Structure 1
């Protein structure tokens, strides 16, 4: 049986190119493990690999979901499990690559089997966010489930809403549900690799890449997504760059301001990813 390779790393760390090189060497196929690269309308702003960058290596679960869908780690697991089995059955090496650490955690450690929540549970949590804001929602989440909340990168309303709604609806914190889990990938069937370049080099790459995004149609892509009039709390609408360019399109800031703000927000996000990956994946092989 071939070993499944999991490649994680912060944004702009060179994961995609690394995965392609590995796929050529191991006769592999690449599977997306990035929460934003699943969305069909976010080719440029999610830094989804282009056809040329794929270099004729089969790529799976990229750009196949409408941005109107609330795609979650549970959706991804249901898609990726049979896909890995299929790749292995054809004698190929599955190579999973992305920056969404929670996808890898669910795959290698398991996903909690939480009962279906009533709509009122999420509505009550959403009311806290709508009325009192993200800080109040985080404060409530910390009261109900400090362990799960501590793992959230920045102000992530979708996951904070989940923590609050699960605790209030089931009477049991999400972190306790997560303790009773089983990994999708059996121990010994996979290898984890974390790409962690020097931070200064990473930040320079981030700035250069966003400049490339603008040249390659990022502004036009943002206009297209904005014209879809999607709910602002959808996961796809959290893409860094989309929010900043949308503010420019609406006349709120200049293009230069939008670009600088997007670069700064991406660097901050990469810093949080860097810290999370180092803490949550201590036994994965490091590539600098």
Structure 2
């Protein structure tokens, strides 16, 4: 028996995923399973570009607003909680649409995550001290010597993943890539079409990012962060508050930047996020890439060829 179909719609921030996916959702009469690490949190609305009530009414979304922002939600949590939604949609004869830009969530759900050694607070503290003294590039160079496969996949400006990879090697004597290779991953129980939406002109993407951020400011983003900041359970090291835009807004409201600098930093950080997302999605050799504006016909044909006329 052939596995049921599912469609993954990936792409960098501000690439037009939500509008395209909502339209496809309505055409297919199905629902969207959000694959976004910010949308899982309640109260992260404007800065997370959460779909509005009109979109949610016509294109229902699952896996949004399922945690409070002071709670930790991992990629493993996402995979465990998202899979039943996919199975429920398939049983009802609907095609699940997996939509978002969080590459690790996609990997956890589709490929499974490796079993890794537990975190070691002492080792992590030592590595952070080295990072403060020697700089992040020195730690990335060490990772390159110890685990070149992981180093090639981790951006030199990604402290969290660099520290974790070095921590894994220190506590286990094995590289992160060794652990990943030895992990047994169950097969994804769907026949999957993976689509990446990305403007071919990176300048256009940068323009969209700036326009969207300015609209967020006009919509009251800073007021949203002020309310979050007033919650004693929240602090800037939480995953929710490390989300792009929220981190810079928190710093701005703490007096660490003026309005102009805050805007520039937030837009620059969003561009860096988009760059990391594009790099991540390029590692998926089975994905089909489309410019959502210039290649609408090709995109529609690809979906029709996968599902039949919609």
TM-score, length-scaled by structure 2: 0.82
Aligned residue for 1:28, secondary structure, equals coil
Query: 2:42, 2:224 → 1: CA distance?
Result: 11
1:242 aligns with 2:246: yes
Cα gap change, 1:256/1:115 in structure 2, threshold over 3 Å: closer, same or farther? closer
Task: Give the gaps of 5 or more residues in structure 1.
Answer: none
| Runs (4+) off by over 6 Å | none
Cα gap change, 1:222/1:149 in structure 2, threshold over 3 Å: closer, same or farther? farther
Deviations 1:151-207 (A, max 9, x none): 224533332332122222222111111123455553761110000113122111111
Aligned residue for 2:58, secondary structure, equals coil
Greater shift, 178-187 or 209-218, is seen at 178-187
Preserved contact between residue 111 and residue 186 of structure 2 (Cα < 8 Å)? yes
Query: Counterpart of 2:21?
Result: 19
Work out the number of aligned pairs and report it. 287
Residue of 161, 168, 176 corresponding to 1:166: 168
Preserved contact between residue 195 and residue 288 of structure 2 (Cα < 8 Å)? yes
Residue of 86, 98, 101 corresponding to 2:100: 98
Residue of 7, 10, 22 corresponding to 2:9: 7
| Cα RMSD for the two superposed structures | 2.4
Preserved contact between residue 150 and residue 165 of structure 2 (Cα < 8 Å)? yes
Query: Counterpart of 2:213?
Result: 210
Deviation at 1:30, TM superposition (A): 0.6
Query: 2:166, 2:95 → 1: CA distance?
Result: 39
Aligned ranges 1:203-282 → 2 under 5 Å: 203-229=206-232, 230-277=234-281, 279-282=282-285
Deviations 1:225-283 (A, max 9, x none): 22235343322222222222223222332223211221122123212322332x31232
Cα gap change, 1:219/1:34 in structure 2, threshold over 3 Å: closer, same or farther? same
Deviation at 1:79, TM superposition (A): 1.0
